[in-house]
Amino acid sequence: MTPDRWKKIEELYHTARECEESQRLAFLNEACAGDDALRREVESLLACEGEPEAVQNPIRARDHENQITRPRQYGQLGGPP
């Protein structure tokens, strides 16, 4: 992920957090303008709200979530799946 992409995700995340929950959907629809990958990234951070790790380090929290939900492929570092 490029630094510019992460900056965009971070900006949208913080703005979405400030929205009323009932307004988040409309905000994300407009702000992401059909960029589904961008929307998924922002939504995954929003889903981690309330978890201390997500607040302190959202990138690490997202990566940890991906390790749990995405099985490793044969040959990746870290031992057998």
- What are the percentages of helix, strand and coil residues in the chain, rounded to 5? 70, 0, 30
pLDDT bracket for residue 69 (50, 70, 90): very low
C-alpha to C-alpha distance for 8 and 29, rounded to whole angstroms: 15
Q: For residue 76, give both structure tokens.
A: 């990746």
Q: Does pLDDT of 68 surpass 60?
A: no
C-alpha to C-alpha distance for 72 and 31, rounded to whole angstroms: 33
Helix (H, G, I), strand (E, B) or coil at 50: coil
Q: Which amino acid does the sequence have at 21?
A: E
Q: Does pLDDT of 75 surpass 90?
A: no
Residue with tokens 């302190």: 56
Q: Does pLDDT of 5 surpass 50?
A: yes
12-61 pLDDT, tens digit per residue, is 999 999 999 889 999 999 999 999 999 999 999 998 876 655 455 555 55
